[in-house]
Amino acid sequence: MSKAHCVDFNHPVLIGRELEYVAEAFRNGHISGDGAFTKKCHVLLEQQLGVPKALLTTNCTHALEMMALLLDIQPGDEVIIPDFTFVSTVNAFVLRGAKPVFVDVRPDTLNMDETQLEVVITPRAKAIVPVHYAGVGCEMDSILEIANRHNIPVVEDNAHGLFGKYRGKFLGTLGVLASQSFHETKNFSCGEGGALLINDPVLIERAEIIREKGTNRSRFFRGQVDKYTWVDVGSSYLPSDVLAAFLYGQLEQRDKIQAHRQRVWETYHNGLQAWAGRNGVQQPFIPAHVEQAYHMYYLLLPDLETRQRFIQYLREHDVYAVFHYLPLHLSDMGLKFGGQPGDCPVTESVSDRLVRLPFYNDLTEDDQERVIKTIAKFDF
């Protein structure tokens, strides 16, 4: 019997007309930023989500950096962030001199625990940054109510949550600003890419300036000003139109991609339910008022030792599962900001126990069945 091929954790997948559009971008004679495909992506995101303005960026990290600039984050300002997230959520603000304030996550959704928000808010708090983990919406009603009462802007890191909804509203449309990621590991990808969603129209003009090296180039091209000059701080956050063309090929297939991901998620969820129940493994929880974005499928094993053995066992059976997010407060940088063991006990526990299963846009039913059958034979 030949050895079965390995089931990757993730790999890039061509879904539609990505390569045709890349060729078209080249034929258009415009492969730098803000060409025809960048505009198509902007319009698609604005129309589908109903946001006043979407701007493609080089990646989600840069969209987060733009947020910090747009909010005028200054040295010593505090930014409230979940402890269980990717480093970019915090780094974008620390780069401007902010002090991160880490909030633990809820044990059910692994999202920022809104009941702990009030306790950490000080007069120096200048932003609250919920992350919709796994594309499952945070408790935005509570978060926005608390933020409004203290007059602190909410900006969403929606890297996982494109097309997910909270109480019928798209994730990414609830804060003043939101970031999206089109990294290879996300639902929609162009390798490296991102977007800034702008829900407060007052911020649109300055966002365009910051994205275009601190110049009013966008207004100049629209004929709104007669010279193109340096007007503010900024950087270069525009992706090449070649990448926008690839991304448009993916976004155009959003229904197909999301339907496939929903099927993959549900197959894991149903296929592992009895096994998880028998062995004390926690499956993801999706609140009834949330429509998730089907970004990932994770399991929470009983402890670190079992999680490590589980990943090793799957690897020996050619199935690649991974873990992620070490608690930010216990990272080298987190310790410099005063993090201590025990500060965020849920994150500390989840970080030891979480495992992410293979999940990509052409994962076949056969491969998924093999993953589920292999898991079912794991010896606890």
Ligand X SMILES: *Cc1c(COP(=O)(O)O)cnc(C)c1O
Residues within window 79-108 making contact with ligand X, judged by CB under 6 A: 85-86, 88-89
Cβ-based burial of 82 (10 A; exposed 0-12, middle 13-18, buried ≥19): buried
Nearer to ligand X, 85 or 240 (CB): 85
Applying the rule CB under 6 A, the residues between 50 and 79 that interact with ligand X are 59-61
Q: Decide whether 59 or 292 has the Cβ nearer to ligand X.
A: 59
Residues in the interface with ligand X (CB under 6 A) total 14
**Cα–Cα distance for residue pair 285/357, rounded to 1 Å:** 16
The residue (of 58 and 253) whose beta carbon lies closer to ligand X is 58
**Min dist. Cβ of residue 185 to ligand X (A):** 7
Of 60 and 98, which has the nearer Cβ to ligand X? 60
List the Cα angle 45/296/261 in 5-degree steps.
65
* Closer by beta carbon to ligand X, 189 or else 216: 189
| Contact status, residue 111 vs residue 131, Cβ threshold 8 Å | yes
Neighbours of 297 (CB within 10 A): 24
Q: Which of 80, 121, 152, 159 binds ligand X (CB under 6 A)?
A: 159
Q: Which of 18, 157, 252, 291 binds ligand X (CB under 6 A)?
A: 157
Q: 132 or 370, CB closer to ligand X?
A: 132
Which among 42-50, 153-161, 249-257, 259-267 is the span making contact with ligand X, rule CB under 6 A? 153-161
- Tally of CB atoms within 10 A around 315: 12
Q: Which of 194, 239, 249, 334 binds ligand X (CB under 6 A)?
A: 194
Hunting for tokens 């390569």 — which residue is that?
Answer: 19
CB of 175 to ligand X, least distance (A): 14
Binding part of the chain for ligand X, among 30-38, 152-160, 272-280, 312-320 by CB under 6 A, reads 152-160
Cα 204–chain centre separation: 22
DSSP 3-state of 266:
helix
Query: In sequence order, what are the residues at sequence separation of 6 or more whose Cβ sits closer than 8 angstroms to the Cβ of residue 279?
Result: 302, 380
Q: How far is the CB of 127 from ligand X (least distance, A)?
A: 15
At its nearest, how many Å lie between ligand X and the CB of residue 318?
Answer: 26
Phi-psi region of 280 (alpha: psi -120 to 50; beta: other; left: phi over 0): left
Cβ contacts of 89 within 8 Å, gap of 6 or more: 64, 81, 82, 129, 131, 157
Closest CA to 354 of 304, 293, 294, 286: 304
> Which of residues 189 and 368 has its CB atom nearest to ligand X in the complex?
189
Contact letters (x/-) for ligand X, 105-134, by CB under 6 A? --------------------------x---
* 209-238 residues near ligand X, rule: CB under 6 A: none
By beta-carbon proximity to ligand X, the closer residue of 82 and 306 is: 82
| Minimum gap (Å) between residue 86 Cβ and ligand X | 4
DSSP3 helix / strand / coil % (the chain, rounded to 5): 40, 15, 45
Q: How many residues does the chain have?
A: 380
Residue pair 292/359 in contact (Cβ under 8 Å)? The answer is no
Residue closer to ligand X by CB (options 81, 299) is 81
DSSP 362-378: T--HHHHHHHHHHHHT-
- 252 forms part of the interface with ligand X (CB under 6 A): no
How far apart are alpha carbons 347 and 328 in whole angstroms?
9
State which of residues 17, 96, 169, 183 lies at the interface with ligand X (CB under 6 A).
183
Please state the closest distance from residue 163 (CB atom) to ligand X, in A.
15
Residue indicated by tokens 């296929």: 271
Q: Give, as ranges, the residues between 289 and 308 that touch ligand X (CB under 6 A).
A: none
What does the binding site for ligand X look like in residue numbers (CB under 6 A)?
59-61, 85-86, 88-89, 131, 157, 159-160, 181, 183, 194
